[in-house]
Structures are given as structure tokens and as C-alpha cells.
Amino acid sequence: MNTVAIKPVAATAGAASGNHAPKVVSQGVKVFYGEKEALHGVDLDINEREVTALIGPSGCGKSTYLRCLNRMNDVVEGCRVEGSIKIDGDDIYDRRIDVVQLRARVGMVFQKPNPFPKSIYENVAYGPRIHGIAQGKNELDEIVESSLTRAGLWKEVKDRLDKPGTGLSGGQQQRLCIARAIAVSPEVILMDEPCSALDPIATARIEELIDELRENYTIVIVTHSMQQAARVSQRTAFFHLGDLVEYGDTSQIFTNPKEERTQAYITGRFG
């Protein structure tokens, strides 16, 4: 995928890490719910094939920002987005962009596992079917198998693909949702607190998976757990009260934050 070079990293960002190019470039993103302004102009560049963690206390706007990236806020009544978000140089809020195609490029995994009440196979095949990705049954089978394999679920479910997805354990359901998102081969995967409904073992399994997926996908993850942000991400953005307070390399944010508020949050003095 060719990336279009756009202006340097945002003002608050620290030194760019490594040689990854920005995949998502957002400038002055404001979100309104009715009259209320939930995000006050966020400038944030997300690098390709890295994990970017969004942290901050509840109500800080991190999930709101995440949902701007695949325009899931369109579904919310009375929600309005200003500013520009470009993925590979395409403004995703441009009139010419079809939201269906955008969401095929930007997949999403939710806080609570939400498999469809269908079989495991049908859950994964859902995306490819509606986008007409597979030619024939064999190709669809391959997509399902490779998606489940990449989500680390194939071995556990290969003998019961026709069983309902809702019958799996919480951790397995969440990996099924990740497989479902991968099946349409997106470029970016958004994860909204993907482990908050899971036990520690399932959480560790998902974190491992996120680390493996980094090779092929750009991942943005919202999390309440600072340990998780520190473990899985390369870059971390700290949000507070609708502002992006600080953005930089994860190691720098957690060891040597520049902002007072970041320091206070990561050491647990508020939040």
C-alpha cells in the first residue's frame, strides 16, 4: 500500500519511532453529540503496522476518536464530526467515500464480544459474503480457515465450525470477532477495550494475538489498563477531557512523560 507523505507528526507527538510511515492522519478532529463537544480538535498520526494505544480516564474521548476512524459515529443520532481524517491520503469524511468500503478497510472489534447468533463458520464468512470477496465455496472455506488460524482459534474450533458462535467461551468469542474482522482483509483494525470483559488468561491470549497481528495490520486499541498499553503498543496517546494531552513512543510516555497530567494519570494519581 502506497502511503502519501503528509505533514510531519502532530505537535504534541514525541520523536517518531522507527521507520514506520503514518497510515492515518487526523487534523483538528472535533466531535459533537448534539450541542456537546466531546473532542476538541485532535491531531494524531497513526503509524502503519504498529499498535497505537489510546489511554485516559472514562469520558475522555478516546472511544469517540476511535469510532471516528471507521465512521461508526454515523450510526449515533445527533453526532457530528469536524476536521479531517485521512487514511492513505483519502479523506474518509469526503462525500465520495462510501462508508461500506471504508469499513471493509477499517475493521473493528468491540468491548463486549458480539458474535452473531449463527454458526462459527457463518460468523467468519459473513464479511466476505456481503462484500463478494470469495469466488465459490472453496475460496470461502480457505478464507474462513486462514482467518481463524490468524486469530489463533482454528485448532480449537475446526471440528465444530457448524456450532453456534455464541456457545464459545468469552475469550474464544472475542477471538472469533477478531477472525471475523480479519476475514475481509482490512488494513486497519480498531479495538475498543477488547479485553475488558475477559479473564486474565483470555486477556493474555488476545494480547499475544495483537502482537502477532501487528506484522500485517495497523492496530489502534483503546484500553483502560495501562499495563496492557505498555505491553502491546509501540505508541501511546493520552486523552483527557476531550483533548489529546500527549502522544509519543510508549516507552517514553510510561517512563518519561512530558506533561504533568500524563505523569499524574500513569502513576495513578487521578483517573
Partner 1 sequence: MSSTLVLAVVLLMMLASFVVGRQRALATAGGHTRALHSRPPYYGSYVALWAAVPALVLLLLWVVVEPMVVDMVVRNSLPDDVRALPPDKLSLVLTIIDNLVRGRATVGDVPAYAKEAAARQQSLHATASWAMAVLVIGLAAIGFFFGARRIAPTLRARNHVERAATWGLVACSAIAILTTVGIVCSMLFETLHFFSMVPPQDFFFGLVWDPRFSAAGRDGSAGQFGLIPLLWGTVFISLIAMLVAVPIGLLSAIYLSEYAHKTVRAWVKPLLEILAGIPTVVYGFFALSTLGPLFRDIGASVGLDVSATSALTAGVVMGVMIIPFVSSLSDDIINAVPQSLRDGSYALGATQSETIKRVVMPAALPGIVGSVLLAVSRAIGETMIVVMAAGIAAKLTLNPFDSVTTVTVKIVSQLTGDLEFNSPQTLVAFALGLTLFAVTLLLNIYALHIVRKYREQYD
Task: Compute the least distance from the CB of residue 69 to partner 1, in Å.
Answer: 11
Rounded CA separation 30/243 (Å): 10
> CB-wise, 78 or 268, nearer to partner 1?
78
Nearer Cβ to partner 1 (177/221): 177
Looking at residue 164, the DSSP 8-state letter turns out to be B
Tell me the closest approach of the beta carbon of residue 207 to partner 1, in angstroms: 21
How far out from the chain centre does Cα 27 lie? Answer: 18
DSSP string for 83-144: EEEEETTEETTSTTS-HHHHHHHEEEE-SS----SSBHHHHHHHHHHHHT--SHHHHHHHHH
Applying CB under 8 A, the residues found at the interface with partner 1 are 70, 72, 75, 77, 99-104, 107-108, 110, 112, 114-118, 126-127, 130-131, 166, 177, 180-181, 184
Instruction: Determine the angle formed by the axes of helices 170-182 and 120-131, rounding to 10 degrees.
Output: 20
Nearer to partner 1, 13 or 191 (CB): 191
User: Measured from the CB atom, is 128 or 248 closer to partner 1?
Assistant: 128
Q: Which of residues 85 and 266 has its CB atom nearest to partner 1 in the complex?
A: 85
Task: Choose between 131 and 224: whose C-beta lies nearer to partner 1.
Answer: 131
Whichever of 166 and 251 has its CB closer to partner 1, that residue is: 166
Write down the least CB distance from residue 127 to partner 1, Å: 4
3-state secondary structure 13-54: ECCCCCCCCEEEEEEEEEEEECCEEEEEEEEEEEECCCEEEE
- Shortest distance in whole angstroms from residue 88 CB to partner 1: 17
Question: Please, are residues 232 and 50 in contact by the beta-carbon 8 Å criterion?
Answer: no
| Closest separation in Å from C-beta 56 to partner 1 | 22
Complete edge-to-edge strand list for the sheet that includes strand 51-55? 106-109, 188-192, 218-222, 51-55, 235-240, 243-249
Q: Is 145 helix (H, G, I), strand (E, B) or coil?
A: helix
Smallest gap from Cβ 67 to partner 1, in A, equals 9
Do the bridges between strand 90-91 and strand 79-87 make them parallel or antiparallel, or are there none, so unpaired?
antiparallel
CA distance 226 to 19: 25
Q: How far is the CB of 53 from partner 1 (least distance, A)?
A: 20
